[in-house]
Structure 1
Amino acid sequence: MESNPSERRQLDDTLKEQLIKMEERLTEIYELYSKVDERVTRLEEQLPKTEEVLGRIVAKNVTGVEESLQHKLSILLPKVDKVLAFYQRASTAPNSERQFHPARSSSAATTSSLTPSSSLNIQLPESATASAVLRDRCEENVPQTAVGSSHQRASSTPTFQNQFLPAQPSPPVTTSLPTPTPSLNIQLPASATSAEMVTECCQGNVPNVSPPAHSVQGAPASSSPSTDAPKSLLEAAEKGNVAALRRFLADGGRVNARDERGHTVLHLAASIGRTEVADVLIANGAGVDRLGPQRRTPLHCAAANGHSATVARLVGAGAAVEARDARGATAVALAARGGHAAALQSLLEQGASVETKDVDGRTPLSHAVRGNFSAVVALLAEKGADVNATAEGEDTPLMHAVKHGNLEIATSLLEKGADANVIGKDGDTPLLIATKLGTTAIVTCLLEKGAGVNAAGRDGETPLLSATKQGNAELVACLVERRANVDTTDKMGYTPLLIATDHARSSIVTCLLENGANVNKADINGNTPLLVAVKNQKSDFVQLLLTKGASPTKKNNVNKSPLFVASKDSHVDILELLLEAVQEFDRDEIGRSLRVAASAAVVWILADAARDVVLGEAGREALFASAAEGRQEVLRALLQIGLNANATDASGLSALHNAASKGHTSCVRTLVEAGAQVNVKDKPGQTPLHLAAREGKRECVVTLLEAGAQVNVISLLGFTPLHLAAREGKRECVVALMERGADASITTGLTYFMTALDIARQKFHYDCVSEIERRLFHRRN
C-alpha cells in the first residue's frame, strides 16, 4: 500500500536529518583523525634527530649504543601511546559505512651500515604499516641493533614496493650515519573525501607508510618517490596493452591496487573506455564495485564518460547499477548529465531506475534538460521518467527547457504530460517566459498543449503585455488569435494598447485596435493612450486613436487633458487634430488650454475654435498668466485678438502689475505699447512701479519711469516706491529711483514719520543707507 505524500515528505525529512547528523559525526571523526596525523608527523620529524644523536654516541662508544637507543625511544613512547589512543577512538566511531582500500606495501629488506668502524642495523617488518610500527613501539618491541662485526644480528629494514608491480625481493640499501633515516609518510588518495578517510581509519585500514625519496648510497641521485601506481602498469591500461597487463598480473601484480589518487586500474580502464582491459581485470578478480574518489565505482566512471561497451561489460560482471557516489548520483544520473544516450540505454536495459535523486534532489531527467541533451531527455521520458519532478526551490524540467529556448526538449516533455501551466520559482509560467524570450515556436507549442494565455506572472504581467513590451508583433498576433485579453493590465494599470502607444509600435497598436482594444482605458494615473501619444508628440498615433474614438478632452488624475497638454507644449499640429475631432467644444477645457498656451499659434487656433471664450474671462486669465510667466508671444497674440491691456482682476491687479513684479521687461514694453496705463493702482494703491521697486526689478523700474510712471507716488499705506526699495534692501532700485528724482525726505505717519533713510537703517540695509546719504549730500551741495 502506497503512503500518502505527507507521510513520504515526513519520512524524507527524517532521513535528511539523520544524514546531516551522520555527516556531522563523520566530520568530527575526520578532525580527530587530522589531529592524530599531525602528532604522527611531529614524531616523524623527531626520528631523524634521534638517529643523529645515536650516530654520535656510536662514534664515541659503540658498546653503549643499545642503551642509548632504548633511552631515546622510551622518551617517545608516551607520545606514541597518545597517538594510538586517537587511532583507537577513531576506529570505534559509529556510522563508518564508507569503504576505501589504500594500497599495502610488499615485503623487502634493507641493511643500514654504520661508519666509521661499526654499523647499526635497525630492524622493522618489511611490510610495516603505520599502525604496525606504532603497535610494535608501544609493546616495547624495540628494533634489534647490530654493532660492528662482533655484534652482528640478523636484520631487515622496511622497503616499500609499488603495488602495481609483482612482489620481488629488494636488494639491500646501505646508508652511512649520520645520514638520517627516512621519515614515515602516511599516504592517502588525494581525492579521498573526509568521510572516506575517517571510515578507512574506523575499519582499521590504516594507510600504508612509505619513506620519502632521498639520495641513498648505491641508488640513482634522481630517484623519485615511490607511488602506488608505476607508470608501466598505468601505460598498459591506458594504451590497452593487454599482453603487458597479463604479464604484470601473472608476475603477482595486484589486480585491485590503486594509484596515488585512489583509483583502481579498473577505474582507469572504465574511465577511458578500455573494455578489453576491463575484461582482463575482471577475469583476474578485479572488484567491479570498489569505491574510488568521490565514492565512485568503475561503472560510475564508464557511464560518466559515455563508454557504453564498458558499461555493458561491467553490468554483465555484476556491477551495482544503483550504486551512488558521494553526491548521491547513480550511473544513470552521470550518463544523463554527460548526455551519453548509448551508455544510458545500456543501463536502462538492465533495469536501472530513472527516478533516483541526488543529494540536491535532482533526477537524471533534470540533469539532461539542464545540459540540453535532447536525445537523453527523449529516452528518459520514454522510459517513464517523471517529467514534472523538481528539486526543492528549483524549476521543473519544462521550465528549464523553455528558458534554454529548446523547442525539441520542450515538445518531448509536453508530449509526455509536462504541466504547461506550472508556476516557476520566480512566479512566472512557461508561456510568460517563452514570450519574454521571444521564442514564437515554443509559445505556439505551449498554447497547443493548453497553456493559459492570460495567466499572469508575479508582477501581474501577462504574455500579451510582455510581447507588447518586447515589440514582438508576431507574438502579439499569435496571442490575440488565441483570444488573449487585449485590455489586460499590469499592476500599474498599463494596457497593451497604452504600452504599444508609448513605445510607438504602430503595427501592434493597429492589431490591438482591430481586435477591440479599449481606446480610452487609462492607467492608475488616469493617462489614456491618446494623452500618452500627445505627450510624445506622435501625431500619426493621435490621428489613429482619434479615428477609433479616443476622447481629446478626457483628463488624467492631475486634471490634464490631451487638449490641455497640446496647448501647454505648443503641439500645434496635434492641437488642430484634437480640435477637429471635437464635436461639441467643452468651453471650460478651451479656457484651461488657453491659460497654458505656449505659443501664439495655439492662441490663434483656440481663438478660431472658440473666439468668444478667448475674449471672455478665460482670455483675461490667459492675459494675466502670460504676463506673469513672461510669454510675450502669447501676450501679444491675446492683445492682437482684442483683449483689453488695462483689464484688472478682483484685486485690482492688471497684466502690467504682473509683468512688472516678475521682472518681465519685454512684456512690460508690450503692454505699454498696447496702451496699458503705467500708473494704474490696485486696491492697496500700489502701481506697477511699487511692485517692480519692491521686488528689485531694476530694468522694469527704468522702463516704467521712461514710460511716464510717477516716481513719488504714495500707496494707501503711505509708501513710495523708494520706501519699498529701501525696506527690502534693493540698492539698484534705490539708485535708479533717486537718479530719476525720487524724494528721500518724504515721510508718512504710518511709518512713524520715517523717511526712506530711516527705514533702511531700521532694516540694517547699510548699502542703501550709504547710497541715500551720498545722494542727499550731493543734492544739498
Structure 2
Amino acid sequence: MDELPGPVIEKLQILQKVESEHPLMAHAPVEKYYTALVTGDLRNIKVLTDKYYEDVNLIFEIIKNELEWQVKSLASFGLSGLWTLEYKRELTTPLCITARNGHTACMRHLLFWRADPNMAPGGQSALHEACEGGHTDCTELLLEHRANPNLLSEEGLAPLHLCTNQNTLGCAKLLVKYGAMVDLPSEETQETPLHIAAKHGLYDHALLYLRYGASADRKNSREETALSVTCGQAKEQEEQGSYLQVCSLLVMYGADVNTTDEEEKSPLHKACKNASHGLVQFLLQNKADVNAIDYNGASPLSCILQTAAFKQQWRPHLTVQTLLNHGSQKIWPMAFGKVLRSCASVPEIIEILFNSYSQVPISEQWREAIPEEIFQMHLPFYESFFMLACTPRCLQHLCRFAIRNQFGSKCHYLIPSLPVPKPLQNYLLLEPEGILL
C-alpha cells in the first residue's frame, strides 16, 4: 500500500456504496485514489475516474490516531508525542481534498465529471476548504460551478469567516462578487466577516466588506462591534499599526467610538488595557469618553494602571500621560499606595500621576509598597519622591498645576499652541524627567 501523507492513517473506509460489481474495481484500491487526490496527481486521478470509474462524489472516512504533543522537561528543549485513546474520524470527498491542497487542475477534472461542490460530509464544503487555504483559483472555479458562497459549515461558519489572513483577500473578493453576504453572522458567536477582519487586523478585507454594505456597528454575541474587537486584539507592538488602520477605517464608515460590550467596556477601555498608545490617541481624537466607566467601575485610566507592569516594553506611561492631558479624572490621592504596589516598576507613571496634583501627602507606609530591588533599580527617582514627604512643591510645579487646571480636558491641544519653548510645553504636558522637585 502506498504510504499516505499527513497524520498516520490506520484505516481508510468507504461509507458510500460504490459500483463494486465493476470488474476493474479490484485493480483500483481507494488508497491510491486518496493518495492521488492529496498529492494532486492528475494523471492517476484521470485513470481512476475514467478507466476504473471511481466515484467523484465518493465519501471517505479517514480513521486515524491523533498525536497529542506535550512539552518535555525544560532541560530537553523538545516535544514528545502521545497517542490518544480515541480515534478521530474525518469525512471528506475528493473535491474537498483537492480544494484543501489547492490542486485546481484536479478539481476541474472532478467538476467535469459532476462532482458536487456543495457536499460537506465532514462539516466543510470544498469552498470552505479552498478559502481557508487561500487558494484563489480553486475558489473561483468552485463559484463558477455554483458553489454556495453562503453555505454554513458544521461549526456555523460561512466561507467568508475563514478568510483570516492577507493571503485570502482574493478569495474574499470572489465570494462577495458571487453573492456572499457580508453581514452574515456565524451561528455560535454571531460574528460577521467584518468582526473576523477586525480580529486579525485585515484592513483590505474590512474595506472590501464595508464597501459592499457591511454594518460597522453590528454586534456579536458578546455585544462587541468590529471596533471593539479591533481595540481588544492589538496586543503586540508590531501589530498595532495594522489595527490602527482598521480602527481609522471603521470610524470613517461611522463606527461608534463609545459603544460598549456586555461588560460595559468601551473600545478605549480595551486599548488602554493593551497599552496601545496609538489607538488610545486615535480614539480620544475622535471623541471617545475618557471617563467612561465599565460594569466593574473601572475607567480607562484604571485599565492601564492595572496592566502597566506587564506592558513596560510598550511604554505604558505614554497612555497615562495622554489620558490625563485629555481630561481623565485622577485617582483618589489616598489610593496612591495601591498604584505604587502595581506600578512601582514603571516610575514614569508614578511621576506623571504625582505631578497631576498640586500636592499629595506622602505616607511613610508607601515605602513598604515598593519591592527593595525595584527601589534600588530606580533609586534617584524614589529618593526624590520620598524627600517630598514633608516639603511643599516648588512654585514652578504649582504654576503648572494652575495652568493645567484652567485648561482642563483641553490641555492636549491648548498647551502645544502656547507661545513658549518646547521644553516648557513638555513640562506642562507632564513629560517625565526622572526626578521630582
Q: For this structure pair, what is the TM-score category when the shorter chain's length is used for normalisation?
A: 0.5 to 0.7
1:274 aligns with 2:41: yes
Residue aligned with 2:281, SS: helix
Residues 264-298 of structure 1 show CA distances to partners (whole Å, capped at 9, x for unaligned) of 74x55444333344445554472543414136443
The aligned counterpart of 1:515 is 326
Task: Give SS of 1:573's match.
Answer: coil
1:424 corresponds to: 220
Which residue of the other structure, out of 573, 591, 594, is the alignment partner of 2:388? 573
Matched residue SS, 1:319: coil
1:403: which partner in 2? 199
User: Would the alpha carbon gap of residues 271 and 489 (structure 1) be closer, same or farther in structure 2, given more than 3 Å must change?
Assistant: same
**TM-score normalized by structure 2?**
0.60
Matched, 1:363 2:158: yes
For 2:122, the equivalent position in structure 1 comes to 327
CA distance in 2, matches of 1:306, 1:540: 56
**What SS class does the counterpart of residue 419 from structure 1 fall into?**
coil
Matched, 1:544 2:356: yes
- The letter for the 2-side match of 1:545 is Y
Counterparts of 1:200-219 in structure 2 under 5 Å?
none
Partner SS state of residue 356, structure 2: helix
Q: 1:254: which partner in 2?
A: 24
What does the per-residue CA deviation read over 1:464-516, in whole Å, with 9 as the maximum and x for residues that have no partner?
22323333322221111111011212234333345567859554344334433
Residue 501 and residue 281 in structure 1: after superposition, are their counterparts in 2 closer, same or farther (change >3 A)?
closer
Conserved? CA contact 1:534–1:542, under 8 Å = no
Counterpart for residue 264 of structure 2? 460
Retained in 1: the 8 A contact 2:131–2:159?
Answer: yes
C-alpha deviation, 1:534, in angstroms: 9.9
Percent identity, aligned pairs only, is 22
Query: Which among 472, 475, 483 is matched to residue 279 of structure 2?
Result: 475
2:157 aligns to what SS in structure 1? coil
Q: Is residue 148 of structure 2 the alignment partner of residue 353 of structure 1?
A: yes
Give matches, 1:718-733, under 5 Å. Answer: none
Partner letter of residue 364 of structure 1? P
1:190 aligns with 2:5: no
Indicate conservation of the 8 Å contact 1:271/1:305, yes or no.
Answer: yes
CA distance, structure 2, for counterparts of residue 545 and residue 495 of structure 1: 18
Residue 113 (structure 2) pairs with residue 317 (structure 1): yes
8 A contact 1:288–1:318 mirrored in 2: no
Q: What is the correspondence of 1:14-53 to structure 2 with a 5 Å cutoff?
A: none
For residues 595-634 of structure 1, the aligned pairs below 5 Å read none
Partner of 2:182: 387
| Alignment partners' CA distance in 1, 2:248 and 2:193 | 18
Q: Is the 8 A contact 1:402 1:410 kept in 2?
A: yes
- Aligned counterparts of 2:173 and 2:142: Cα–Cα separation in 1: 15
Are positions 1:303 and 2:99 aligned together?
A: yes
2:173 corresponds to = 378
Q: Give the structure with the higher percent strand.
A: 2
Contact 1:256–1:287 (CA<8 Å) still a contact in 2? no
- Quick one: distance in 2 between partners of 1:539 and 1:270? 65
Shift in CA distance, 316/455, structure 1 to aligned 2, threshold 3 Å: same
Amino acid at match of 1:304: R
Shift of 1:342: 0.8
Cα gap change, 1:444/1:371 in structure 2, threshold over 3 Å: closer, same or farther?
Answer: closer
**Separation in 2, partners of 1:368, 1:392:** 17
The answer as to whether partners of 1:501 and 1:541 remain within 8 angstroms in 2 is no
- Check whether the contact 1:500–1:509 (CA below 8 A) recurs between aligned residues: yes
> Residues of 2 paired with 1:399 and 1:255: CA distance?
49
Matched, 1:446 2:258: no
The one-letter amino acid paired with 2:183 is N
**What SS class does the counterpart of residue 452 from structure 1 fall into?**
coil
1:275 aligned partner, one-letter code = L
SS of equivalent to 1:373: helix
User: Would the aligned equivalents of 1:506 and 1:541 in 2 still touch at CA under 8 Å?
Assistant: no
Instruction: Report Cα offsets for 1:378-404 as digits up to 9, x if no partner.
Output: 321232212232332233333333333
Whole-Å separation in 1 of the counterparts to 2:31 and 2:226: 44
Aligned-partner SS, 2:164: helix
Gaps of 5+ in 2: 2-9, 62-90, 235-239, 309-314, 341-346, 368-385, 399-437
> What is the aligned-residue RMSD (CA, Å)?
4.1
CA 1:192 to 1:513, structure 2 compared with 1: closer, same or farther past 3 Å? same
Where in structure 2 are the equivalents of 1:594-743 lying within 5 Å? Answer: none
SS at match of 1:512: helix
Q: Secondary structure at the match of 2:357?
A: helix
How far did residue 341 of structure 1 move?
Answer: 1.3
Bigger mean CA offset, 467-476 vs 500-509? 500-509
Contact 2:28 2:52 in 1 (8 A): no
- Specify every segment of 5 or more residues in structure 1 that has no aligned partner in the other structure, as ranges: 1-161, 163-188, 209-251, 547-551, 553-561, 583-781
Distance apart, 1:373 and its partner CA = 2.5
**2:408 paired residue number:** none
Distance of aligned partners of 1:480 and 1:281 in 2 relative to their CA distance in 1, 3 Å threshold = same
Letter paired with 1:409: H
Shift of 1:317: 3.1
Give the CA deviation at 1:463.
1.8
| Shift in Å, 1:312 | 1.8
Quote the offset at 1:452 in angstroms. Answer: 1.7
Equivalent position of 1:649 in the other structure: none
2:56, 2:113 within 8 Å by CA — same for their partners in 1? no
Q: Which residue of 1 aligns with 2:60?
A: 293
Once residues 273 and 256 of structure 1 are traced to their aligned partners in structure 2, the CA distance between those partners, rounded to angstroms, is 22
**Are the structure 2 counterparts of residues 253 and 542 from structure 1 closer, same or farther at C-alpha, using a change threshold of 3 Å?**
same
CA deviation after TM superposition for structure 1 residue 573, in Å: 1.3
CA distance in 2, matches of 1:401, 1:377: 11
Q: 1:473 to 1:340 in 2, by over 3 A?
A: closer
> Does the 8 A contact of 2:93 with 2:121 survive in 1?
no
SS class of match (1:466): helix
Kept in 2, the 8 Å contact 1:273–1:307? The answer is: yes
Name the aligned partner's letter for residue 250 of structure 2.
Answer: L
Query: What amino acid is the match of 1:517?
Result: S
Evaluate the alpha carbon distance shift between residue 298 and residue 459 of structure 1 in structure 2; reply closer, same or farther with a 3 A threshold: closer
| CA spacing shift, 1:574–1:421, aligned 2, 3 Å | farther
| Contact 2:337/2:366, CA 8 A, preserved across alignment | no
Q: Report if aligned partners of 2:184, 2:192 keep a CA contact under 8 Å in 1.
A: yes
Specify the alignment match of 1:412 in structure 2: 208
Number of residue pairs aligned between Structure 1 and Structure 2: 319
Shift of 1:444: 1.9
- Tell me: CA distance 1:421–1:299, structure 2 relative to 1, closer, same or farther (3 Å): same
Pairwise CA distance, 1:329? 3.1
Q: Could you tell me how far apart the structure 1 residues matched to 2:142 and 2:170 are?
A: 15
Q: Deviations over 1:183-236 (max 9, x none)?
A: xxxxxx93227xx3xx75xx9x9x99xxxxxxxxxxxxxxxxxxxxxxxxxxxx
For 2:123 and 2:364, locate their aligned partners in 1 and report how far apart those are by CA, in whole Å.
Answer: 71
